Chain A
Amino acid sequence: MKFEGLLWWILFLPLGAAVWITLRTLKNPGRSAALSIGAALASFVLAVIFWAANGWTTGQVSVSWWRIGSWTASFDLRVDPLSLLMLLVVTGVGSVIHIYSVGYMRGDPGYARYFACLSLFLFSMLGIVLAGNFLQMFVFWELVGVSSYLLIGHWFERPAAADAAKKAFLTNRLGDLGFLAGILVLQGVAGTLDFGRLEETWPEQVSALGATATVVGLLIFCGVVGKSAQFPLHVWLPDAMEGPTPVSALIHAATMVAAGVYLLCRVFFLFTPEALMVVAWTGGLTALLAASIAVQQNDIKRVLAYSTLSQLGYMVMGVGLGGPAAAMFHLVTHAFFKALLFLGAGSVICALHHEQNIWRMGGLWRRMPVTFWTFLVGTLALAGAWPLSGFFSKDALLAVAWGRSLPLFVLGVGVAVLTSFYMFRLVWVAFGGPARSEAAAHAAESPQGMLWPLRLLGVLSVVAGVIGIQPVLQAILPGLEGSHAASWWGRLMEPFHHAPVPAAAGLAALLIGVGLAWKGYAGGAEDPVPNRWPVLGRWLRDRFYLDELYEGTVIWFHDAWARVVAGVERWVLNGFCLGLVRGGTDLLGQSLRLLQSGNLQTYALVFVVGLALLLWWTLGG
């Protein structure tokens, strides 16, 4: 590999920016933003240079990190097409969102702190992408959790934001516990945590390990369930929308939550068929659950959050069905159009003075043309309209499902119908129809600093399907079929040739969804669903009462247990044990102070008598 040193710069520049901002420029918002954006852009440019110099190469840079006895932990930077692709996406989308943040966060009292956290996040995320072994992966995995916590809780003086940050952190811990256990078991049975070495030795060990191999896979999948917010640990992601919108776009849609899928692809070889079955059904269930909840949400960011959940479920399902390449492909295109959608939503929210209820918007397409058109592009891409990027990646996933599991294929198509339905509901209610509030009637387009990121991501959302991501992934991972045609037209038509049924099903799903949304929401002033199916509407709006269920069981039990432990501490430890020690010391002290009379002559007498006794004892007898 040429320019290996660049990798260190790519990884550590954002950390440098975060540290420098925290230590030196917290009082200077402008310089903080410049530093943070500079670091992100520099990382992106260096990544591009590295890629241009090496192409889709494979290699690893290692330094010894620390050792215990004969066991050495190394710090590896692993480069292969997978991590290079992810590196470009993370730094690219990250840079765009850094720039967008300048406009969105203007005037915020925590402006410099915000950028420091953003840089810290970028560093952690790049660490995950470049990690060459499980230990390092885990460290950066947790760092990403910390930066996510800091950013969700950016407006920590609002109780909702503080609670959401706590919820996200704790839910993630639950998944990470499984992840850590998986890593430990893996170290025990395989003797190494290095991805490269595991890939070589694991296939020979699987048959000898039997069920243990499946357990290892499932434990590692626990980490993915937490970070990528799969059912049943999905509850944190919608709440995470309490953070600033650019954060939702970068962390809770485009990159961090996708880290789980990235991990699955990175260690795909670890999973046995049984483990993959669990993975696939978890993903499928999450996709369906989240998509149906999204149908009845009225907060623009929550709709997008549930959409993210659903798309992550799609990707996880794709991995579970044996198509990690298709899942990675969808991850990349999703990163573009979901970041675009969130930034578009941020632009709307900003213009309406932090109004997030879509029923208090309306008519925005005329007042905010750039936001509207780019948002529409994002929506079409997400819904899978040909020839936008989402069509190709979703089609790849459906094609994988078509070949392997009919029930999951049907589920996937159903989710696609729901996806286009709720997205077009959102578009029609928020952007179409008459203005339904004072703020919406007087909304003005956002500043150019926020619009250019939208345009850029819009272009990427359109073309990402045909610029040649598939052959890169095809070369290293299974699951993407079909040859890569040379001509543009050939590439555009490719899905219809190699798997016509999924492609047709995807387009049909899009049309059905749009049709239903048109029927229900075009021009309407209120939601028809709660009136016609009140029970269904209520269950969907209240997220199937899953949060309440957790509140009533897990959290109730946890609180009760906490009270018991607090009682033990207060009465047994503090009251009895400490009381005994404290009382004894006190009594002793009280009696000893009687000796301290303050009278010089008493001291002299005691001194002389003591001396005499000492002499008698040493010289006499």
Chain B
Amino acid sequence: MQWTPGLEHYLAVSFVLFSLGLLGVVVRRNLLVMYMCLELMLNAANLALVAFSRFRADLHGQMLVFFVITVAAAEVAVGLALLVALYRQRRTAHVEEVSLLRL
């Protein structure tokens, strides 16, 4: 009998991806890397949703994934623009150096 991965395997991968992303967001200092880690977290969530959709024969999950992808695309556009603007102004993309909104 050929081995096929079950729901729990997909969820495990998703969990690992999500954790890596979160770790990256919390510990990496470069904004661009933090950004990519954020995307990683989003995609981990997407993977979980698709897996659920597949194993429970429910298309709602896939539909939600399309929305997430769309929103993520828009978010990337805005976020990268902000990042470029920030870099142009302050010549840095390091998160410790952009803590101006502090009392």
Contact = CB atoms under 8 A, between A and B. Distances in A.
B26 A598 contact: no
Contacts of B98: 600
B26 A596 contact: no
A593 interface: yes
Contact of A598 (B22, B27, B29, B102): B102
Contact of A593 (B26, B27, B103): B103
Contacts of A604: 25-26
A436 B96 CA distance: 93
Contacts of A601: 25-27, 29, 34, 95
A598 B99 contact: yes
A605 B26 contact: yes
Interface string A589-608: 00001001111110011001
B87 to A, nearest CB: 15
Interface string B16-33: 000000100111010000
A597 B102 contact: yes
B103 A596 contact: yes
A160 B100 CA distance: 60
A596 B29 CA distance: 19
B74 interface: no
Contacts of A600: 34, 95, 98-99
Interface string B26-67: 110100001000000000000000000000000000000000
B97 to A, nearest CB: 10
Contacts of B96: 599
Contacts of B102: 596-598
Interface in A256-291: none
B1 interface: no
A597 B102 CA distance: 6
A598 B101 contact: yes
Contacts of B29: 601
Interface in A528-555: none
A598 B99 CA distance: 4
Interface in A555-600: 593, 596-600
A599 B98 CA distance: 8
Contact of B99 (A593, A597, A605): A597
Contact of A608 (B26, B99, B101): B26
Given A596-B102, A596-B103, A608 B95 contact: no
A608 B22 contact: yes
Nearest to B38: A604
A599 B22 CA distance: 16
10 contacts: A593-B103, A596-B102, A596-B103, A597-B102, A598-B99, A599-B95, A600-B34, A600-B98, A601-B25, A601-B29
Interface of A: 593, 596-601, 604-605, 608
Given A601-B27, A601-B29, 9 more contacts: A596-B102, A598-B99, A598-B100, A598-B102, A599-B95, A599-B96, A600-B34, A601-B25, A601-B26
